[in-house]
Amino acid sequence: QSALTQPRSVSGSPGQSVTISCTGTSSDVGGYNYVSWYQQHPGKTPKLMIYDVSNRPSGVPDRFSGSKSVNTASLTISGLQAEDESDYYCASYAGSYTLLFGGGTKLIVL
């Protein structure tokens, strides 16, 4: 099993939209609708933002949305705000009760 592939960093200006990709294989991202996304501010605990590809937990703004196409999942943040600057990690079920995480993406709000 190899880690899911995420861009090292993405950036956007306040009010804009950004998309973070998460690429896996047919054995993980492409094989199951169990992709999740986490926001982690420096020194803090990861926070669940999206689960089951596109579902938002209660309390997560609807500016955050998730999708998937074949072996690549995406997290889109619209109406970018300064507080969105953070590290974002994707995760996917990989069969046989195993989980894979992505390497993480640093979102920079310009």
Partner 1 sequence: QLQLQESGPGLVKPSETLSLTCTVSGGSVSSSSYYWGWIRQPPGKGLEWVGSIYYSGSTYYNPSLKSRVTISVDTSKKQFSLRVTSVSASDSAVYHCARLSGNYFPESWGQGTLVTVSS
Q: In the complex, which residues of this chain contact partner 1 (CB under 8 A)?
A: 1, 3, 32, 34, 36, 38, 45-46, 48, 51-52, 57, 89, 91, 93, 96-104
Shortest CB 97 distance to partner 1, Å: 4
Angle at 24 between CA 20 and CA 28, to 5 degrees: 120
**Nearer to partner 1 by C-beta: 11 or 52?**
52
**Nearer to partner 1 by C-beta: 2 or 13?**
2
Sign of CA dihedral 16, 103, 94, 44: negative
**Nearer to partner 1 by C-beta: 79 or 103?**
103
In order of 24, 52, 79, the CA distances from 90 in angstroms are 10, 11, 21
